């Protein structure tokens, strides 16, 4: 393995959404992450062909029956050697399996125990079911996304599961690992998607406090209200994005669009934004997206074409930076960020559940006779 986290050992309790994304990030950076799959269990959301389960990349899989005491004990033997554990179950599930923080810390006091939930480990909603859309709704983030006089727009599960969830857990685990290196003691990391989505909204809450942001969706500077920070349809039905916030960038926009209407001189007059947006919309419909790209891409207008899933990997900038890679024939984002001396390797393809059970146990020092017995008893 290569990367800045080389040598780090992590146990991942397989789940969906945020926790696997965290584990993927750690594995991308060179950590040895082993996925603990439940023996014989199937995921309601994972693709049938594991090649397409991109967030499962870079890890080997151990399938084990944790309902049997010997299964839980075997996992505890691995946890004793691990630096961190990540899990994304509802509060109390790991405790019922006999694998809660107290039990694990009794075996390994230095263990960082990362917990990923939607609502958090405590609070009135802690034990309720939920999904990304619910968590970002509670944080205030969902309310702000969408057009004026329309319902809030669901932003896929970027803000909750991945930004406010998985990335937050990865950050928390690494923070706790740094602390454990100094103190010799691990701790529990309680990462809640509601907390993370709220944290992502820090700047917006500052804007709200100083009066520069209001609760009217689609009428503010960064939510599509401004004509100079928006998306526009072109003559061919494809879209472009404009982010000309600063006056010098806005001046470039007006110049390249060939606009000489004095109404556009009042850039920050929010009362004019709807009218200016309408006029700018007409301007962008006069050319195709490719023509606007030829005129504006690479300039200081703050411009980019709106690319679909097929187009993005093929854009010259993304190709030059190798932003996308292919793993076992599947196009996917490359590990990020970049490092000057400890570059991570290309991730391995996702493993079938249980494909590496014997190899993992062997590599982590479990006696071959014990492995054979676990196989005979159908615990692995």
Question: Would you name the residues annotated as active-site residues?
Answer: 131, 161
Strands (E), 193-336: 229-233, 239-243, 303-305, 324-327, 330-333
> Is 18 within 8 Å of 48 (Cβ atoms)?
no
**Cα–Cα distance for residue pair 127/145, rounded to 1 Å:** 27
Q: To which residue do tokens 């803000």 refer?
A: 159
Question: Which of these, 337, 364, 347, lies nearest to 4 by C-alpha position?
Answer: 337
Tokens standing for 258?
A: 């060939």
Beta bridge partners of 113: 85, 188
Question: Which of these, 130, 129, 127, 135, lies nearest to 154 by C-alpha position?
Answer: 135
Element (H, E) at 189: strand 188-192
Apex CA 114: angle with CA 108 and CA 116, to 5°? 150
CB atoms within 10 A of CB 294: 11
> Is 36 within 8 Å of 11 (Cβ atoms)?
yes
């Amino acid at each position: 393995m290569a990367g800045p986290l080389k040598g780090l050992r992590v146990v991942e309790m397989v789940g969906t959404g945020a926790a696997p994304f965290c584990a993927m990030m750690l594995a991308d950076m060179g950590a040895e992450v082993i996925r603990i799959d439940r023996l014989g269990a199937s995921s309601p959301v994972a693709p049938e062909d594991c090649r397409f389960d991109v967030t499962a990349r870079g890890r080997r899989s151990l399938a084990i029956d944790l309902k049997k005491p010997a299964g839980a004990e075997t996992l505890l033997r691995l946890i004793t050697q691990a630096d961190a554990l990540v899990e994304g179950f509802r509060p109390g599930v790991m405790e019922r399996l006999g694998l809660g923080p107290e039990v694990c810390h009794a075996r390994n006091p230095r263990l960082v125990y990362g917990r990923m939930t939607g609502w958090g480990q405590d609070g009135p909603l802690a034990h309720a079911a939920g999904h990304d859309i619910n968590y970002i709704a509670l944080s205030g983030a969902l309310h702000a996304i969408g057009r004026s006089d329309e319902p809030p727009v669901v932003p896929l599960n970027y803000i909750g599961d991945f930004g406010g969830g998985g990335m937050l857990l990865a950050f928390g685990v690494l923070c706790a690992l740094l602390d454990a290196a100094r103190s010799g003691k691990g701790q529990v990391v309680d990462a809640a998607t509601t907390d993370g989505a709220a944290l992502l909204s820090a700047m917006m809450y500052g804007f709200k406090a100083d009066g520069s942001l209001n609760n009217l969706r689609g009428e503010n500077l960064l939510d599509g209200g401004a004509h100079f920070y928006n998306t526009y349809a072109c003559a061919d039905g494809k879209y472009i994005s404009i982010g000309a916030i600063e006056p010098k960038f806005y001046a470039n926009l007006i110049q390249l669009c060939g606009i000489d209407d004095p109404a556009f001189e009042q850039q920050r007059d929010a009362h004019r934004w709807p009218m200016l947006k309408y006029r700018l919309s007409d301007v962008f419909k006069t050319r195709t997206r490719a023509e606007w790209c030829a005129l504006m891409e690479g300039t200081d207008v703050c411009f980019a074409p709106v690319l679909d899933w097929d187009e993005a990997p093929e854009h010259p900038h993304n190709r030059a930076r190798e932003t996308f890679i292919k793993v076992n024939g599947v196009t996917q984002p490359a590990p990020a960020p970049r490092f000057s001396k400890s570059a991570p390797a290309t991730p391995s393809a996702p493993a079938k559940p249980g494909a590496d059970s014997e190899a993992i146990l062997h590599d982590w020092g479990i006696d071959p006779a014990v492995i054979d017995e676990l196989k005979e008893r159908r615990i692995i």
